Amino acid sequence: MSHLIIAPILIPALAGMLLLLEVRERHRLRRITGLLACVALLAVSILLLRQAWEGGYTVYQLGNWQAPFGIVLVLDRLSALMVLLTAVLAFPALLYASCGDDRRGANFHGLFQFQLMGVNGAFLTGDLFNLFVFFEVLLIASYGLALHGRGPERVRAGLHYVVLNLVGSALFLIALGLIYGTTGTLNMADFAVKAQALTGSDATLLSVAVLLLWVVFGLKAALFPLYFWLPATYAGATAGVAALFAIMTKVGFYAILRVYALGFVAGPFAGLGQQALWWLALVTLLLACIGVLGARRLGVLVAYLVVMSVGTLVASLAYGALDAVAPALYYLVHSTLVCGALFLLNDLIARGRGEVADQMLAGPAIVHGGRLSLLFFVAAIAVIGLPPLSGFVGKVSLLQAVPEPAYWVLLLVAGLCGLIALSRAGSTLFWRTTGEGSGLRPARRHLLAVLALLVLSPLMTVYAEPLLQFSQAVAAQLQEPQGYIRAVLGGDV
């Protein structure tokens, strides 16, 4: 049994504990520890992706207890891809935060690592209760990170974020109780098998439990009407935290995709809640367009772009079941990386404008605005979906996979709204100047962190064909849930 699969959980967990023990005043040591942990996580993630591609499923039984009685971690192509995406995003985000933002509050680096632990655990777990546990780990860490830097705006946004997620956690526990009461298991593979045999009142209770799961996962993914916490929380967080939070909504989407692919594509519960998810995703996409156009701060605009990506992804899944998963995964990777880069870039622009910060008002000229304007131009093209960058490839692939007029119209309108909003933002921030700039110069590490994320968009375009082929391989594996079930439970299921 390979022990490598548990490394994405152990590395940040051990690093987080070590960081809590290190002297707070030794900032350089804490930064080096955190960055080395992220490098180790990235290296392990690459090895796990290769292992998943070559070896199919890898099941890790904690304590050597057999499923469904023991806790299992499961590595397949989807979970390996998501763990790698988290590692790729985490290093530039932490590198950026290590330029000074990490000193605004205590225990930043420890919380950052525990956040990574929770996210990776959610991607790797094969048990619904442990999915809840890892959700709580990442949420508790995110509460501290959202409030990092203090200030009334962060406290107000953080309070809404905490309250809503506590309600979500309570609903998750209720759903788990109903699932265990009807099926006698919380192992995902075992649940997928036993759910198919339920009838009568047990089937009704299970339907209620699954609909509650969709609500909980919709809250994590920021799906309408549960996304209102996101713009203020993301826009109010420090840049490195906001960039890392770009993966948070994808955890909710991953949970919907994983549970749906295992037990709700075929059988008596096929398509449960699918129509509701479809319409909620379209409304999310529509309201995100309105939010983008109405944003008065660049940070809020970028946060609504995250909401827009959620609507795009969930709608593609809800319409075509698993038929549109391949382009959706390509678009997921693209949107996460580009939005992460935009959050970092927003902070550089705000620093360069002084007191006006990221408000879309005429203000002082941005210090080193030429470099930042070029980076902003590239990021805007990528996130809108204009050629030749990866957003164009992702959106065209989604339009081909989802031949539904309503989806086409909204996706194209979303691109147009993004173009209008980002054009207005760019012209206001870089051209409507009222005098010489008095803001801060971006440090080299700031620019390096932004470039590390932005350069991946043209690379995704150059290697679009192999990346889409890999996404299709991930989708093909998801379309055969029996392979996952046999790997976890063993024998002929």
Residue 41, token pair as written in the block:
């996580």
Paired strand residues for 58:
75
Distances (CA, A) of 173 to 61, 100, 131, 403, 413: 24, 39, 11, 37, 38
Mind listing the pLDDT tens digit for each residue in 54-65? 868 888 888 778
Could you count the other beta carbons within 10 Å of the beta carbon of residue 294? 11
* CA-CA-CA-CA torsion sign (464, 307, 235, 165): negative
Tokens 């809020």, residue located: 300
Considering only CA atoms, which of 158, 97, 85 is closest in space to residue 122? 85
DSSP classification of residue 59: E
Alpha-carbon gap, residue 150 to 146, rounded angstroms = 9
Residue 235, token pair as written in the block:
């826009």
Mind listing the pLDDT tens digit for each residue in 333-345? 999 999 999 999 9
Cβ contact 219:301 at 8 Å? no
DSSP secondary structure letters along 310-362: HHHHHHHHHHHTTTTHHHHHHHHHHHHHHHHHHHHHHHHHHHHHGGGTTBSS-
DSSP secondary structure letters along 192-238: HHHHTT--HHHHHHHHHHHHHHHHHHHHHHT-TTS-THHHHHHHHS-
Query: Is the residue at 253 inside a domain?
Result: no
Could you count the other beta carbons within 10 Å of the beta carbon of residue 448? 14
Alpha-carbon gap, residue 167 to 171, rounded angstroms = 6
The confidence score (pLDDT) of residue 488 equals: 86
Spatial CB neighbours of 109, under 8 Å, sequence gap ≥ 6: 19, 30, 31, 33, 34, 94, 102
Alpha-carbon gap, residue 124 to 59, rounded angstroms = 10
Whether residue 421 is predicted with pLDDT greater than 70 in this model: the reply is yes
DSSP classification of residue 65: P
Stretch 249-270: mean pLDDT: 85
Helix (H) or strand (E) holding 58: strand 58-61
CA 393 to chain centre: 20
Query: Is the residue at 154 inside a domain?
Result: no
Residue 283 has phi, psi (to 5 degrees) of -65, -40
Query: Is the residue at 271 inside a domain?
Result: no
Query: Is the residue at 132 inside a domain?
Result: no
Q: What is the pTM of this model?
A: 0.92
Number of domains in the chain: 1
Residue 61 has phi, psi (to 5 degrees) of -100, 105
Alpha-carbon gap, residue 124 to 302, rounded angstroms = 29
Residue 274, token pair as written in the block:
């699918």
* Greatest mean pLDDT among 9-13, 159-163, 225-229, 292-296: 9-13
* Mean model confidence pLDDT for the chain: 86
Burial class (CB within 10 angstroms; exposed 0-12, middle 13-18, buried 19+) of 26: exposed
Query: Is the residue at 299 inside a domain?
Result: yes
Considering only CA atoms, which of 137, 310, 142 is closest in space to residue 227? 310
The whole domain housing 395 covers: 276-480
Amino acid residing at 306 = V
Query: Is the residue at 2 inside a domain?
Result: no
Omega cis (within 30) before 68: yes
Mind listing the pLDDT tens digit for each residue in 90-108? 999 999 988 877 787 778 8
Query: Is the residue at 314 inside a domain?
Result: yes
Mind listing the pLDDT tens digit for each residue in 260-287? 888 777 777 777 788 888 899 999 999 9
Whether residue 2 is predicted with pLDDT greater than 70 in this model: the reply is yes
Query: Is the residue at 281 inside a domain?
Result: yes
